[in-house]
Amino acid sequence: MKEKVDKKISYDKLFAEFLSCLLITAGALMASFSVVCILIPNDAIDYGTAGIAIILSMLTKWNLSLCVACVFLPFLIAGCVILGKRFGFKAILGSAVYTVGIAIFERIPFELNTEHFLAVVFGGALLGAGLSLILKSGGCIDGSEIFANIVVKKISDKTGKNFSMTYLLIGFNACVYAAVFILINRNAALMSLLVYVVATSIINHFTDHYEAIKQVTIITKEPDALVKAIKQELNKTCTLMDSYGAIAGENKTLICYVNYFELPKIKEIIAKNKGTFSTVSTIDEILR
């Protein structure tokens, strides 16, 4: 009986992983179509490291997909080494599909006959929808997010404090748009800023501000295994409090703070420990 249950869990996990890879692929194709067929023809670019690759392609006249691959590669390697193989695999999958999608859509004639403003808003919304699918599935295609994640992780590991990625991402993208303003032209910079506003609005709606800190609250009768696993696998500590359920009686409540990309791992840990009740909420700031 136990073997059947374990096999069912294994199949469910494999199907979930397959589905997440499928959604990452779809999201990356949506993003690449938006960038190549809608944004660039209407004097706008993507943000983050994709924006750097587009600027490089415009200035050097090199192939865009080649520039994307070259700019993404060091961030992907760093992500695999520092953030783990599972995260690295999904980041590589998303980036590879995005790069191949750009190479394909560059060869497909497409024209959106409408005003620049409307085209850029639509392109930004499509880009945001594609990136939302990727982030919701535990993936990532932009090196700026990997960079911010690595910096936050290093600071957290050394200080034990939790920090949001928000300011790092804003600073990174501010540098990208400043480069567009100086090296390309001011219209492209303003159109690209509109893309950023629209895309991030869509992403924040579907991911509940992925760049913010997440508070995971776990109610359980057996906290020791959870605390040990969270410490070993995420290098995070927990706050424990006594709690009481009207039906379950005496419990322990664990509170742990993680970033968005650590959520899949902590969900795995919780799933392995039966008899728990958990919630996830977004935290704007932690005061000490």
Q: What are the pLDDT digits (tens) for 17-51? A: 889 899 999 999 999 999 999 999 988 888 889 99
Angle at 19 between CA 124 and CA 204, to 5 degrees: 30
C-beta of residue 200 within 8 angstroms of C-beta of residue 212: no
> Residues 6 or more apart from 153 whose CB is under 8 A from it?
82, 83, 259
Rounded-to-integer distance, Cα 15 and Cα 174, Å: 39
Reported confidence tier of residue 5, pLDDT bands at 50, 70, 90:
very low
- The H-or-E segment that residue 74 falls in is helix 64-83
Q: What are the pLDDT digits (tens) for 224-254? A: 889 999 988 888 888 899 888 877 788 989 9
Domains within the chain, CATH numbers bracketed: 2-207 (no CATH), 213-283 (3.30.70.120)
Q: Answer with the residue of higher pLDDT: 84 or 139.
A: 139
Q: For the residues of 129-180, what is the DSSP string, one character each?
A: HHHHHHHHTT----HHHHHHHHHHHHHHHHH-----SHHHHHHHHHHHHHHH
C-beta of residue 27 within 8 angstroms of C-beta of residue 130: yes
Across residues 87-105, what is the average pLDDT?
91
Q: Is the dihedral of CA 175, 29, 61, 112 positive or negative?
A: negative
Residue 7, pLDDT > 70, answer no
Nearest Cα neighbor of 40 from 129, 111, 91 is 111
**What pLDDT is attached to residue 8?**
52
Residue 124, pLDDT > 70, answer yes
